[in-house]
Amino acid sequence: MNIGEIISAVELMRKALALLREIVNSIAKKPDKERAENALREAEHAFQIAEAKVAGELKYQLCKCTWPPQIMLSKGFRDYSEVFKCPRCGKEFPPPTPDLPDDSRSAPLPATNFNGRPLSSL
């Protein structure tokens, strides 16, 4: 199955869910409507899981802020690598590198070379 077939299958599933939603909204009887609404929620949940599974197989980044996982969208490039952002929580992958302050706790430079002579005598 190529990418075009996968995309068209996902679009068909979306259209089918939209039609089911219209049918559920047109049902007047309360017990039938509740049953139909529950079935629609289950179908939507199964579709979201299938969509995330297809995205994972296509090597898209997935955010685990919800279940089923959210498909992260490309934001562009940073430092020669592509950056993805979750549309739900805003998390980025890979996360931005924080600016680290100068750390004065680092080890001092040695005052002698490997032979034990002072560096100033070189």
CB burial of residue 27 (10 Å; 0-12, 13-18, 19+):
middle
Percent of the chain with pLDDT over 70: 82
What's the pTM? 0.58
Closest CA to 76 of 67, 84, 87: 84
Q: pLDDT digits over 29-39, tens only?
A: 777 778 878 88
Give whichever of 20-24, 39-43, 72-76, 77-81 has the largest mean pLDDT: 72-76
Residues in contact with 61: Cβ distance below 8 Å, sequence separation at least 6, in sequence order:
71, 72, 84, 93
pLDDT value at 108 more than 70 = no
Specify whether the CB–CB gap between 89 and 69 falls below 8 A. Answer: no
